[in-house]
């Protein structure tokens, strides 16, 4: 019995038991459904073993949407608990667990895969390539991310959630104050997902550098590709830092080392420093691809080219450099002294400059444009003012002397949600609506889409603007309740209502998908938005080889110039196309990683050793394998092309 | 498979070129990984909590032997690649096996070194200093160990399949990895051992 006790949840409640049952039932239902409809073979052949960047992209999307709802439920629970003074819906421990998982799930398991989805689906198409540089590594990246996310998500029903905040500062995250295995989950699950992300970074840098269509020089790349390129460079520099940090955290918690301890020479602030050396660049990994999407969408629906292409690129390069030089702004109050704080204040404020340049470029793109307000454009237009507000409060926080007032209050919480929701989340939803027809061959309903955009914006304003005020009045973040006499009650109620409105918005997205799947017209062109870049030059649905003939490019907006100026981008005859074979190894290896992670969390060393060997066996198998891929014949291409052109 | 015969075998196909570039980027990530470890080492080096210091536990002899072994192995792997470019399969395999044996000897001495540290009371848990010292050395050591297996697999493949664009590509990438570990070791040698002994 002793052996099994470790898997019990240390701080159970009815809700957790109910979730256990619900999760159990869902798993059984899914397995039964797959068996009943005889879909195992399909699932294995078409999805689990796929190396096609488009399918991998779609799997990222599904994971991101699932995690959006998991994180969203956390959010609603927190807002409900704070909606009035002295509520007891959640106790302090549960509240701690929920804000921790909310942060990690939203940033690492929702926003990151959402971005990975766009990179996977869009970039090879946008640069006119057949696939990414390393298709199989790409599958491995996805499955590692997925297993990491799943491992993190089961923490709350097996062994207990992490509860030290998404920043997991030591000594709070050390064994003394975080006694359950929750923080082990944090260290291991993020480690596994992080390895996947790092490999994605390497993969996409190589892809973008080496696989662009002939004629597409670096300064002719579409803006989304540029933004993703820079984000991937940041990934390659930042994620190894995270890997080392998590490894040291694991060693401290499970092997008794003294990196971050309070005695034997350990240094707790070391965690905070290294965390933010990764963490601040991480927020730019999120926002840069979002900027890229806005750039595409704004120029498409302003019906003109993007204003200031080169300054857009330049400002992103500058942001990526500065993002590594500002980390201490996250702990101005921790006593580094006036000089250090001043330096970091200045570097932080400096980031606002290139960011501002981008905002002006978008505005100037709009100025002479013929604006068409579609759902993606509506999100973009809402983004500009709302995000600017978040940037401005960022600059307020950047003033180290003033930060003593704002730090770790709801004001800070309002700031980062103010940049992340209108900045990242709106971009994801705008991009999703924009690329939906390319993926699935029908458009999402515009009316429902616009309703969603407005509900999310209004909900956002109601839920986060009050936090600026209560924050300035001294409401601390991460407190599970407050007393009536503080006077925070009414504004927190407004926040709760706002959160509810946002929740309705998110449910509407699901409804929109359902509604459009049923009723939307399938009779749409390959280019329903009248867009400007190469991804719209191929068929819908996109054939597995993307382009029958590799496009040849000689301008930034190659596809637009093909449509309007008669440039010929598809020249020559069909040739047989080389494609990679599917492989089960990435999936199987990631499953072994999952078991490895799970055993590690619970310090079950024998399974850890066995699975470690298993992982290396997979790598060895891969090394010895002789797989040269396959060819799609010219006849097959002709057949596919005629069929797709048929409509 | 399109091949470009004007280039060395390991660069001869499109896929090969991609892999080499991808590996360079991976090495960039590895540099960040070790840079983080070094930064942590310099932060914690003085925090010995009354326990052993670097000067107290470092021994010059094993460290010199390790350095010699690893530097030589970096040289022999270079010779291996040279032989590969000349198309001399046997010589190449010979140099690769020499490299791996030198690497194995390095690991042997490193294990001795670790045992010594634990023996004189500088275990993983003793102080912040010993924690980061052993973690940094250990991370490098694990890299070398993985390299041993990887190199072995490559030798087997070259032996069985001959020098093809694929095996040449793998061997070349392996040599990059091995040189990289050598460079990291030079940093460890200078900034951890020599500086520590001064
Ligand atoms: C003009 C640009 C920006 C400036 C000047 C800025 C400044 C700051 C400062 C000074 C803090 C720390 C405040 C404190 O802890 O007291 C902070 C926190 C934060 N910022 Fe920003 N920021 C900017 C843009 C962004 C963007 C674009 C994102 C994300 C997409 C972002 C995400 C965050 C997050 C997640 C935190 C807090 C994390 C935590 O403590 O849990 N910021 N920002
Ligand atoms: Cu920051």
Are residues A561 and A548 in contact, defined by beta-carbon separation less than 8 angstroms?
Answer: no
| Token pair of A279 as six digits | 């963490």
Selected residue of B29, B43, B132, B135 to mutate for chain A interface (largest A Cβ count, 10 A)? B29
pLDDT digits (tens, 9 = 90+) for A289-348: 999 999 999 999 999 999 999 999 999 999 999 999 999 999 999 989 899 999 999 999
Closest ligand 1 atom to Cα of A286: 30
The answer to whether residue A373 sits within a structural domain is: no
pLDDT above 70 coverage of chain A, percent: 100
Instruction: State the CATH class of domain B56-197.
Output: mainly alpha
Are residues A463 and A502 in contact, defined by beta-carbon separation less than 8 angstroms?
Answer: yes
Q: What do you get for the CA distance between the two ends of chain A, in Å?
A: 65
Counts for chain A of helices (H) and strands (E), in that order: 22, 2
Hey, are the CB atoms on A623 and B135 less than 8 Å from each other? no
Reported confidence tier of residue A5, pLDDT bands at 50, 70, 90: confident
Q: What is the pLDDT of residue A625?
A: 86
Q: How much is the average pLDDT of B177-198?
A: 95
Mean pLDDT, chain A, whole residue set: 94
CA A599 to CA A609: how far, in whole Å?
Answer: 9
Residues in chain A, total: 647
CA B165 to CA A430: how far, in whole Å?
Answer: 45
Q: What is the pLDDT of residue B1?
A: 53
Judged against a pLDDT cut of 80, whether residue A257 lies above it is answered with: yes
Q: Is the CB of A422 under 6 A from ligand 1?
A: no
Judged against a pLDDT cut of 60, whether residue A615 lies above it is answered with: yes
Judged against a pLDDT cut of 80, whether residue A1 lies above it is answered with: no
Judged against a pLDDT cut of 80, whether residue A646 lies above it is answered with: no
The answer to whether residue A470 sits within a structural domain is: no
The answer to whether residue A551 sits within a structural domain is: no
CA dihedral of A234, A240, A243, A248, whole degrees rounded to 10: -120
The answer to whether residue A270 sits within a structural domain is: yes
Lowest mean pLDDT among A284-288, A380-384, A538-542: A538-542
Q: How much is the average pLDDT of A140-161?
A: 95
Judged against a pLDDT cut of 60, whether residue A621 lies above it is answered with: yes
Q: Which residues contact A320 (CB under 8 A, 6 or more apart)?
A: A230, A233, A234, A281, A284, A288
From ligand 2's centre to the CA of A326, what distance in Å?
A: 6
The answer to whether residue A601 sits within a structural domain is: no
The answer to whether residue A97 sits within a structural domain is: yes
Q: What is the pLDDT of residue A647?
A: 47
Q: How far is CA B190 from CA A169, B136, B184, B193, B194, in A?
A: 32, 14, 10, 6, 5
Using CA of residue B89, residue B91, residue B95, residue B97, what is the dihedral sign? positive
Selection from A63, A112, A75 nearest residue A278 by Cα: A112
Q: What is the pLDDT of residue A131?
A: 92
Alpha carbons within 13 angstroms on the beta-carbon side of residue A442 total 14
pLDDT above 90 coverage of chain B, percent: 88
Of A206, A243, A267, the CB nearest to B25: A206
Q: How far is CA A235 from CA A232, A543, B177, in A?
A: 5, 30, 21
Q: Is the CB of A611 under 6 A from ligand 1?
A: no
CA A134 to CA A554: how far, in whole Å?
Answer: 26
Q: 0.90 cut: is pTM over it?
A: yes
Which residue did the predictor score with more confidence, A122 or A263?
A: A122
Cis ω before B116 (30° cut-off from 0): no
CA A391 to CA A416: how far, in whole Å?
Answer: 9
Q: How much is the average pLDDT of A47-61?
A: 95
Task: Work out how many domains chain A is built from and give that number.
Answer: 1
Q: Is the CB of A351 under 6 A from ligand 1?
A: yes
The answer to whether residue A195 sits within a structural domain is: yes
Cis ω before A171 (30° cut-off from 0): yes
The DSSP call for residue A420 is I
Are residues A263 and A170 in contact, defined by beta-carbon separation less than 8 angstroms?
Answer: no
The answer to whether residue A90 sits within a structural domain is: yes
Selection from B5, B7, B1 nearest residue B20 by Cα: B7
Reported confidence tier of residue A566, pLDDT bands at 50, 70, 90: confident
| Ligand sitting nearest the alpha carbon of A389 | 1
Range of the domain at A120: 1-278
Is residue A463 packed enough to be buried (19+ CB in 10 Å), middle (13-18) or exposed (0-12)?
buried
| Token pair of A228 as six digits | 């993703």
Q: How far is CA A633 from CA A135, A392, A518, A545, A639, in A?
A: 20, 56, 36, 11, 10
Q: Which residues of B touch A208 (CB under 8 A)?
A: none
Domain assignments of chain B as residue spans, ordered by start: 56-197
Q: Does A236 touch chain B (CB under 8 A)?
A: yes
Judged against a pLDDT cut of 90, whether residue B11 lies above it is answered with: no
Of all protein residues, the one whose alpha carbon is nearest to atom 38 of ligand 1 is A416
CA A436 to CA A433: how far, in whole Å?
Answer: 5
| Ligand sitting nearest the alpha carbon of A323 | 2
Q: What is the pLDDT of residue A572?
A: 86
Q: How much is the average pLDDT of A230-259?
A: 97
Of A210, A244, A263, the CB nearest to B21: A210
Judged against a pLDDT cut of 70, whether residue A254 lies above it is answered with: yes
The helix (H) or strand (E) run that includes residue B94 is: helix B89-119
Judge if ipTM > 0.90.
yes
CA B49 to CA A267: how far, in whole Å?
Answer: 12
Of all protein residues, the one whose alpha carbon is nearest to atom 10 of ligand 1 is A398
Q: Is the CB of A322 under 6 A from ligand 1?
A: no
CA dihedral of A278, A282, A288, A293, whole degrees rounded to 10: 150
Is residue A8 packed enough to be buried (19+ CB in 10 Å), middle (13-18) or exposed (0-12)?
exposed
CATH number reported for the structural domain that contains residue A200 in this entry: 1.20.210.10
Alpha carbons within 13 angstroms on the beta-carbon side of residue A479 total 17
């Amino acid at each position: 019995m002793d052996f099994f006790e470790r898997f019990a949840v240390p701080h159970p409640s009815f809700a957790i038991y109910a979730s256990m049952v619900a999760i159990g039932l869902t798993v059984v239902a899914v397995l039964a459904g797959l068996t009943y409809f005889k879909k195992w073979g399909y699932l294995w052949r078409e999805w689990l073993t796929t190396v096609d960047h488009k399918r991998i992209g779609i799997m990222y999307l599904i994971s991101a949407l699932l995690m959006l709802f998991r994180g969203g439920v956390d959010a609603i629970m927190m807002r409900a608990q704070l909606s009035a003074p002295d509520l007891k819906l959640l106790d302090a421990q549960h509240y701690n667990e929920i804000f921790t998982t909310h942060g990690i799930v939203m940033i690492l398991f929702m926003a990151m895969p959402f971005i990975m989805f766009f990179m996977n689906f869009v970039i090879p198409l946008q640069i006119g390539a057949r696939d990414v540089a390393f298709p199989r590594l790409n599958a491995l990246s996805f499955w590692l991310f997925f297993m990491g996310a799943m491992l993190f998500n089961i923490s709350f029903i097996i062994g207990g959630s992490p509860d030290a905040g998404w920043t997991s500062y030591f000594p709070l995250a050390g064994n003394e104050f975080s006694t359950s295995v929750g923080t082990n989950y944090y260290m291991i699950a993020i480690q596994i997902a992080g390895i996947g992300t790092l490999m994605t970074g390497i993969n996409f840098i190589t892809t973008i550098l080496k696989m662009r269509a002939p004629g597409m020089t670096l300064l002719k790349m579409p803006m989304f590709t540029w933004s993703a390129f820079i984000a991937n460079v940041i990934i390659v520099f930042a994620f190894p830092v995270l890997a080392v940090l998590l490894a040291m955290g694991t060693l401290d918690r499970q092997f008794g080392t003294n990196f971050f301890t309070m005695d034997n020479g350990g240094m707790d602030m070391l965690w905070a420093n290294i965390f933010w050396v990764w963490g601040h660049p991480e927020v730019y990994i999120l926002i840069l691809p979002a900027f890229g999407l806005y750039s595409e969408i704004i120029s498409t629906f302003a019906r003109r080219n993007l204003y200031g292409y080169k300054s857009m690129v330049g400002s992103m390069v500058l942001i990526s450099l500065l993002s590594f030089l500002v980390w201490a702004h996250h702990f101005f109050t921790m006593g580094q002294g006036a000089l250090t704080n001043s330096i970091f204040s200045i570097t932080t404020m400096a980031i606002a400059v290139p960011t501002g340049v981008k905002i002006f470029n978008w505005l100037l793109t709009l100025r002479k444009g013929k604006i068409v307000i579609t759902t993606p454009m509506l999100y973009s237009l809402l983004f500009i003012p709302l995000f600017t507000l978040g940037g401005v409060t960022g600059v307020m926080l950047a003033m180290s002397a003033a930060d003593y007032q704002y730090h770790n209050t709801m004001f800070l919480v309002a700031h980062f949600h103010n940049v992340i929701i209108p900045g990242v989340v709106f971009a994801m939803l705008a991009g999703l609506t924009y690329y939906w027809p390319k993926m699935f061959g029908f458009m999402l309903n515009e009316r429902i889409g616009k309703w969603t955009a407005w509900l999310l914006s209004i909900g956002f304003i109601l839920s986060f603007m009050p936090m600026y005020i209560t924050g300035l009045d001294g409401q601390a973040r991460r407190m599970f309740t407050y007393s009536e006499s503080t006077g925070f009650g009414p504004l927190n109620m407004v926040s709760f209502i706002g959160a509810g409105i946002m929740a309705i918005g998110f449910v509407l997205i699901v409804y929109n998908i359902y509604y459009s799947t049923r009723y939307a017209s399938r009779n749409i062109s390959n280019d329903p938005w009248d867009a400007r870049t190469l991804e719209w030059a191929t068929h819908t649905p996109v054939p597995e080889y993307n382009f029958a003939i590799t496009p040849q490019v000689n301008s930034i907006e190659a596809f637009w110039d093909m449509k309007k100026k008669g440039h010929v981008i598809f020249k020559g005859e069909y040739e047989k196309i080389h494609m990679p074979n599917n492989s089960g190894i990435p999936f199987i290896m990631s499953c072994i990683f999952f078991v490895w992670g799970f055993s590690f969390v619970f310090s079950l060393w024998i399974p850890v050793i066995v699975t470690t060997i298993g992982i290396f066996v997979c790598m060895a198998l891969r090394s010895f394998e002789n797989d040269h891929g396959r060819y799609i014949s010219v006849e097959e291409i002709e057949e596919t092309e005629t069929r797709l052109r048929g409509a | 498979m399109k091949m470009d015969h004007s280039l060395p075998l390991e660069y001869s196909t499109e896929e090969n070129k991609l892999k080499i570039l991808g590996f360079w980027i991976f090495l960039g990530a590895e540099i960040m990984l070790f840079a983080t470890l070094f930064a942590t080492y310099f932060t914690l080096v003085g925090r010995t909590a009354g326990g052993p210091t670097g000067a107290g536990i470092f021994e010059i002899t094993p460290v010199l032997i390790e350095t010699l072994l690893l530097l030589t192995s970096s040289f022999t792997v270079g010779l291996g690649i040279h032989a590969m470019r000349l198309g001399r399969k046997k010589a190449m395999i010979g140099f690769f096996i020499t490299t791996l044996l030198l690497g194995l000897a390095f690991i042997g001495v490193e294990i001795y070194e670790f045992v010594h540290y634990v023996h004189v009371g500088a275990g993983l848990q003793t102080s912040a200093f010993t924690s980061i010292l052993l973690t940094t050395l250990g991370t490098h050591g694990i890299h070398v160990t993985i390299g041993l297996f990887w190199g072995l697999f490559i030798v087997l493949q070259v032996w069985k399949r001959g020098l093809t664009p694929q095996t040449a590509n793998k061997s070349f990438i392996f040599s990059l990895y091995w040189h990289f570990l050598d460079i990291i070791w030079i940093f460890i040698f200078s900034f951890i051992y020599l500086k520590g002994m001064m």
